[in-house]
């Protein structure tokens, strides 16, 4: 891989910006840049878990970061070009192209939020790599979250309330991504959203429920334990007991012991 000459990289990206009105040329030039900085001789550890199972370039972080920084303002001021570009990039079989598509979509002004969320929904209907899904929920919503957080939360609610389990799971994952930004006053709404999944018996939601409860426990352990104890008291069956046990290690000692005592009382009362 050639050493990174910042001036040269910036000139290459500037040329990329000049092609924003030509989606296919933009896509080709993006690959030219990524291929130029691909580290052909660098091999990750054989035991390392790949970020994505799509085709990927092996790049210094500085390259993709500089591409995003430079494209931010042009994307914000040329939304119609962005909508054409993201569709072209989405057809690509490289992770970096789809990742950039999610980033660019997140730069479109909030006045286009309905169009942005409709694109996100359309993309979610397709089979997706896990890394792409995470990029969708961390990048494509940037403008909406910044200008109208309630609108993005409503979108998450819409996913969770979708009758299809696939979209429900996406909604739970999207919710997990947002927990760092959600205020304490929103906790009751969050608890109401996840309650049916905690009380249900479908194991396909378990991983995302674990993520959500773990983050809630680290941020608001007392409120979360109180909520889980309510769910435990209102739910019958073996599954709820084992599920509550799986949450114990997410809590500080005081809260863990409180939940543990509630689980024991539930077990003694039930069996």
**Is the sign of the CA dihedral 140, 144, 145, 147 positive or negative?**
positive
Q: Which of 87, 79, 165 is nearest to 114 (CA)?
A: 79
Strand boundaries in the chain, DSSP class E: none
pTM: 0.92
Phi, psi dihedrals of residue 43, rounded to the nearest 5°: -120, 125
DSSP state of 109: -
Q: For residues 113 and 144, is the Cβ–Cβ distance under 8 A?
A: yes
Measured CA to CA, the distance from residue 260 to residue 245 in angstroms comes to: 7
Query: pLDDT for 160-174, tens place per residue?
Result: 999 999 999 999 999
**Is the sign of the CA dihedral 242, 243, 247, 249 positive or negative?**
positive
Query: pLDDT for 73-105, tens place per residue?
Result: 999 999 999 999 999 999 999 999 999 999 999
Average pLDDT over residues 210-236: 96
Query: pLDDT for 121-147, tens place per residue?
Result: 999 999 999 999 999 999 999 999 999
Measured CA to CA, the distance from residue 161 to residue 150 in angstroms comes to: 16
């Amino acid at each position: 891989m050639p050493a990174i000459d910042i001036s040269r990289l910036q000139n290459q990206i500037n040329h990329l910006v000049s092609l924003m009105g030509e989606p296919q040329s933009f896509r080709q030039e993006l690959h030219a840049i990524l291929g130029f900085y691909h580290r052909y001789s660098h091999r990750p550890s054989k035991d390392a878990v790949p970020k994505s199972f799509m085709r990927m370039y092996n790049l210094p972080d500085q390259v993709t970061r500089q591409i995003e920084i430079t494209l931010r303002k042009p994307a914000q001021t040329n939304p119609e070009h962005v909508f054409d570009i993201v569709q072209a990039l989405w057809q690509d079989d490289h992770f970096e192209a789809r990742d950039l598509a999610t980033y660019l979509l997140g730069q479109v002004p909030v006045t286009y939020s309905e169009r942005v969320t409709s694109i996100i929904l359309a993309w979610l209907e397709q089979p997706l790599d896990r890394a792409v899904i995470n990029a969708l929920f961390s990048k494509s919503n940037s403008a909406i979250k910044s200008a109208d957080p309630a609108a993005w939360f409503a979108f998450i609610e819409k996913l969770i309330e979708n009758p299809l389990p696939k979209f429900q799971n996406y909604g739970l994952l999207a919710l997990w991504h947002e927990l760092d930004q959600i205020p304490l006053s929103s906790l009751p709404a969050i608890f109401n959203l996840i309650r049916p999944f905690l009380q249900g018996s479908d194991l396909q939601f378990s991983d995302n429920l674990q993520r959500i409860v773990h983050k809630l426990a680290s941020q608001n352990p007392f409120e979360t334990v109180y909520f889980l104890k309510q769910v435990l008291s209102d739910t019958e069956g073996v599954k709820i007991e084992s599920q509550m046990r799986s949450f114990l290690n997410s809590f500080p000692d005081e809260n863990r012991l409180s939940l543990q005592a509630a689980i024991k009382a539930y077990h003694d009362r039930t069996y």
